[in-house]
Amino acid sequence: MNQNLNITHSASFGYKAKLRDFSQLIKVRLNLTVVFSTFIGFLLGMQGHVQWMDLLIVCAGGFLTVGAANGINQIIERDSDKLMRRTENRPLAQNRMGVTEAAIISLVLGAAGVILIAYFLTPLCGILSFLSLITYGFIYTPLKKVTPLAVYIGAFPGAVSPIIGYVASHGHLDILALCLFIIQFAWQFPHFYSIAWLLDDDYKRAGLKMMPLFAQKDKAGALQIVFFTGILLPLSFLTYYLGIGSIWSNIILELCSLYFFYRSVMLLKDLSNTSAKGLMFTSFFYLPLVFVIMLIDKLIR
């Protein structure tokens, strides 16, 4: 009897451990933040009533595709992950999961996500999903060891998610879709650079070049971060200038951008990890807050 209980307990523990490894491979929490951008993009692009089935398909397809990209990332970086405290416990780094298993999972998820979006929604959404997957997994990821320009390349697939959601409901690209792309594209630089500032030793240990171009944790690096947060100031009023946002929502967006800019200036002032952490946490809230404000403005107009 006890032996049967032990076998059942071991099987349950093994199942949970495998589920945790799968969750780590596809980075579920990070994945959900990307799906959130797709979700908001869909609602911003809708005309009339919400097409709930289309919304479910684009979010599910996005989750699968991003999960595949994260899996490819960890396959390529498995040796680098072993050298960083932040990533040393990932399943491939610890040999809890083999490369073949991770590759099969990534292939199945990627194919399922792209096909789901392309078949049930529009070919353009499918093409954007496929290009995002390829760019992130096979261009951005290996380039991280070669050049800081990798961050610029990675910002493109990182900014595509709201456009995919927008096109899924709206049917085509327009100026608002471009606005969403530009805002998320520019936001990624202070977001990633603040993280790179805090994890600089880890990244250097793994040979990853994640700091700004021609800079380290110095004035040159901080100035580039200030530049990108500064870009968000005029972008905050862009929707109003184009006639697709109210003055009140854009005033709120501008205040959010001013605070984001202020946090980057504080980093430039003292070059401290404390200021970098403040900037990083601000970046966590900035983008979802901006998108939610834009959505509320759309719904009440």
Question: Does the pLDDT value for residue 2 go beyond 70?
Answer: no
pLDDT score for 243 = 72
Question: Does the pLDDT value for residue 7 go beyond 70?
Answer: no
pLDDT score for 91 = 96
> Looking at residues 258-283, what average pLDDT do you find?
98
**Would you list the domain boundaries of the chain?**
9-172, 174-301
**Sign of the torsion angle spanned by Cα atoms 209, 211, 215, 217:** negative
Q: CA separation (Å) from 269 to 186, 213, 225?
A: 22, 19, 12
pLDDT score for 6 = 47
pLDDT digits (tens, 9 = 90+) for 100-138: 999 999 999 999 999 999 999 999 999 999 999 999 999
pLDDT score for 81 = 96
Question: Does the pLDDT value for residue 3 go beyond 90?
Answer: no
Class for the domain spanning 9-172: mainly alpha
pLDDT digits (tens, 9 = 90+) for 27-79: 999 999 999 999 999 999 998 888 999 999 999 999 999 999 999 999 999 99
pLDDT digits (tens, 9 = 90+) for 167-193: 999 999 999 999 999 999 999 999 999
Confidence of residue 237 (pLDDT cuts 50, 70, 90): confident
pLDDT digits (tens, 9 = 90+) for 196-229: 999 999 999 999 999 999 899 999 999 999 999 9
Question: Does the pLDDT value for residue 249 go beyond 80?
Answer: yes
pLDDT score for 208 = 95
